[in-house]
Structure 1
Amino acid sequence: MTGLLFGLFFLFMLAGVPIALAIGASTMLALNAQGVPLMVVTQQMFQGINSFALVAVPMFILAGDLMAQGKVSEKLVDFADSLFGFLKGGLSIVSVLAGMFFAAISGSGAATTAAVGSSLVPELRKKGYDPASAASLIAASGTIGVVIPPSVPMIIYAVIAQQSVSKLFLNGFIPGLVMGLGLMAIAITQAYRRNYPRGTALSLATIWRTLKSASWGLMTPVIILGGIFSGIFTPSEAAVVAVNYALLVSLFVYRDLKIPDVYRILIRSAITTSVIMLVIATSAVLSWTLSSWQVPGAIAQAVLSISTNPYVIMLLIVAVILLTGVFIETASA
């Protein structure tokens, strides 16, 4: 039956069926072939999303969308440019640094990429940077958005694996920093190979001016993560605080959003959230099915037969996730 389940799943994937429907349909057909009542499907779907921690998902998505649509991303880019723009190829380094800044606000890779890309891609093209290379660098920088907390995929994983969201957030800083430094090294190497121009001259006055302008955006991760790690509020409550702070900054400080804009952003965030929740719900059915068929135990035995070294096991897991990520979106993987 496991072969039927995964065979149907890959068949649906090759046919271009959306991932949530591919997971749900393949699991439901496999269960039906085994004679399992389909009422189990709805029960497990509800159980999969019946978690207080998941309240944070739509809230962080909304906060990221609000910040991305306003001037926060532009202020962060200007601040990053004042720090590293004087270097050769400094604008590409700014792309990475701005991605890291915005990652600590949005919790979403897509929101990070959109916010930084909309501000920097036209400028990179105007300065003579290779468009394909610049786009790739910004897209790669956007992936830091799901590593540096707050992170939507971390919340999803915490719910699935029954782990602490706060502990996952705490352990996301160093990997995110390492990713950023690695991308900066690539940007500098490309800059010297292709003789990219230098950007804004280094000036303490400019740094201070852009820092003051970007301070409202930079305070977002301080409020969110400071509140979580100090125990003032939970990650779910922090997400709601982030939305209220984003609305305050966008509507009354920078004044770059109007009420109709907020309504449009609410609709878009709701659509994004519904897609993620449907994926989580159908994945819960798949997880229950595999558990009832004792597939995880068989996989664990197969992995342990290769090696019991924890580093080797982690390397195998990373390899599987890397391969999965080629075909499947982050939350689904």
Structure 2
Amino acid sequence: MPAIVVASLLGLFALSVPVVIALGLAASLGLFGFTRLPGEVMAQQVFISLDRFPLAAIPFFILAGKLMEHGGLSEKLVELARALLGGIQGGLAATAVLTCLFFAAISGSSVATTFAVGAVLIPALKRYGYPLGFSAALMATSAELGVIVPPSIAMILFGVATETSIPELFLAGVLPGLTIGATLILLVLVWCRLRGWGKRDREDRLPLGQAARGAAWSIMMPVIILGGIYGGVMTPTEASVVAVAYALFVGMAVEQKLTLQRLRHCFEGAVVSSTVILLIIAMASLLSYLLKREGVPDAAATWISENFTTPASFLAAANGFLFVTGMFLETSASVIVLGPILTDAASRLGVDNVHFGTIMVVNLALGMITPPFGVNLFAAAAVAGCSVGAMIRPLMVFILAMALCLMAITYLPVLSLLLPTWLMR
């Protein structure tokens, strides 16, 4: 049964069937075609998969990101980042990376980061003479920090799927996120100097003090969220609700940009985005239940531990597998279906669950900017008004830089485990 179900799933993906429908059809084939379980099991497992308190954080973090975007706070973050880096050649391109790092600590979503920051910065990059393909590729790559830096929706899903501490996973994403951000900033500064781009970047930027005052309310959100979680005041789910309340207050009372029409747009967008993610979780969990019932995770973990006898060889193989998977399969589904299988194998080889979760999320984030189905590519292309093909050449450089960062995160566990060990163990 497992081989036929997996083959049917791959076939549906090859036919460009939407992820939710493909997962549901493959799970239905396994349930009705190869088991004697009653149909009610489908509804039962779907309900069980979503009846988890930590998952409530997903719609709230998505809504908080949209409220920050439409409340004008993403523009304040751009102004602050530009005040910090805009005085050097290539500073506007580096601003894109730094702003995505700021916004990632609010939204938890790479696609939301692409739209929120890209809508402001891609036109600015174009206006200051940067090639459109480069600008879109830079934004797609920088925005993937949204699933690495806490609060990360992908980290929440991994924690739920593998029963790993979500606060520890959040902490584990901090240093890898900063490492990737610093690498991208250094890369674009060198690139722009070599190509002669960005010589006018210092024009029209605000003084640092003024920009910092304007962005103070925006910067306080991640401080409140993460401070509340690690201060023991709030769980991640409770922190997501506080984030929404804070974003509503700032957008309506301070910035006064959240009109009723914008609020409606925010709530509608959050409902649609959350529904898509939760449907994927439900169908992926059903498929995962059927595979687990057939003993696939245990068999796979045993096979992996027998054929990859060292952590280094296993991590190399896992990275290659996840890289290819991320090119074709949506991140939420990958985490739910593959997370428990690979984490079990990693644990048998002595790899820490938190470290492996960080590796998996970073690797799947890389898949978001890898053709043919990288979701960030299509989001950035939509914002920039260009084709994905125009992004490919600069994108290859960014993918190489990301791959080098992934290798560092994989083989230097201290990047993932230093903060969790120091603060929570």
CA RMSD of aligned residues (A): 1.5
- Residues 264-284 of structure 1 deviation map (CA, whole Å, 9 limit, x = unaligned): 210111011111111111111
Instruction: Report what 1:208 is aligned to.
Output: 209
Instruction: Report what 1:88 is aligned to.
Output: 89
* Distance of aligned partners of 1:201 and 1:261 in 2 relative to their CA distance in 1, 3 Å threshold: closer
User: Counterpart amino acid of 2:259?
Assistant: K
- Residues 53-91 of structure 1 deviation map (CA, whole Å, 9 limit, x = unaligned): 111000000001111122111111111111111111111
**Local SS of the residue matching 1:231:** coil
Deviation at 1:12? 1.4
User: 2-side partners of 1:290 and 1:235: how far apart?
Assistant: 30
Instruction: Report what 2:392 is aligned to.
Output: none
Instruction: Report what 2:20 is aligned to.
Output: 20
Instruction: Report what 2:240 is aligned to.
Output: 239
User: 1-side partners of 2:97 and 2:223: how far apart?
Assistant: 20
Deviation at 1:201? 6.6
Deviation at 1:202? 11
Identity level (%): 37
* Distance of aligned partners of 1:121 and 1:202 in 2 relative to their CA distance in 1, 3 Å threshold: closer
- Is the counterpart of residue 122 in structure 1 residue 123 in structure 2? yes
TM-score (structure 1 length as normaliser): 0.96
User: 1-side partners of 2:310 and 2:41: how far apart?
Assistant: 38
Deviation at 1:38? 2.1
Instruction: Report what 2:72 is aligned to.
Output: 71
Matches within 5 A, 1:147-186: 147-186=148-187
Instruction: Report what 2:30 is aligned to.
Output: 30
User: 2-side partners of 1:195 and 1:52: how far apart?
Assistant: 51
Deviation at 1:18? 1.2
**Local SS of the residue matching 2:332:** coil
User: 2-side partners of 1:307 and 1:283: how far apart?
Assistant: 27
User: Counterpart amino acid of 1:160?
Assistant: A
User: 1-side partners of 2:189 and 2:73: how far apart?
Assistant: 26
User: 1-side partners of 2:304 and 2:92: how far apart?
Assistant: 44
User: Counterpart amino acid of 2:20?
Assistant: A
User: Counterpart amino acid of 1:232?
Assistant: V
- Residues 166-200 of structure 1 deviation map (CA, whole Å, 9 limit, x = unaligned): 11111110110111112112212220221012322
Matches within 5 A, 1:215-234: 215-234=216-235
Matches within 5 A, 1:184-199: 184-198=185-199, 199=201
Is the 2:5–2:27 Cα contact (8 Å) retained in structure 1?
Answer: yes
Bigger shift: residues 161-170 or 235-244? 161-170
Bigger shift: residues 44-53 or 32-41? 32-41
Instruction: Report what 1:97 is aligned to.
Output: 98
Instruction: Report what 1:43 is aligned to.
Output: 44
Instruction: Report what 1:263 is aligned to.
Output: 264
Instruction: Report what 1:11 is aligned to.
Output: 11
Deviation at 1:116? 1.1
User: 2-side partners of 1:307 and 1:15: how far apart?
Assistant: 33
Deviation at 1:11? 1.7
**Local SS of the residue matching 2:309:** coil
- Is the counterpart of residue 280 in structure 1 residue 281 in structure 2? yes
Deviation at 1:301? 2.1
- Residues 186-227 of structure 1 deviation map (CA, whole Å, 9 limit, x = unaligned): 212220221012322799x81111000000000000000000
Deviation at 1:16? 2.0
Is the 2:30–2:290 Cα contact (8 Å) retained in structure 1?
Answer: no
- Residues 103-135 of structure 1 deviation map (CA, whole Å, 9 limit, x = unaligned): 011111111111110111111111110110111
Deviation at 1:295? 1.0
Is the 2:106–2:222 Cα contact (8 Å) retained in structure 1?
Answer: yes
- Residues 242-267 of structure 1 deviation map (CA, whole Å, 9 limit, x = unaligned): 00000011111011110221112101
Bigger shift: residues 118-127 or 321-330? 321-330
User: 2-side partners of 1:201 and 1:20: how far apart?
Assistant: 47
Bigger shift: residues 303-312 or 221-230? 303-312
**Local SS of the residue matching 1:331:** helix
TM-score (structure 2 length as normaliser): 0.76
User: Counterpart amino acid of 2:317?
Assistant: L
Instruction: Report what 1:295 is aligned to.
Output: 296
Kindly tell me the number of residue pairs found equivalent between the two proteins: 332
Instruction: Report what 1:2 is aligned to.
Output: 2
User: Counterpart amino acid of 1:200?
Assistant: R
User: Counterpart amino acid of 2:101?
Assistant: M
User: 2-side partners of 1:248 and 1:312: how far apart?
Assistant: 50
Poorly superposed stretches of 4+, deviation over 3 Å: none
User: 2-side partners of 1:306 and 1:179: how far apart?
Assistant: 31
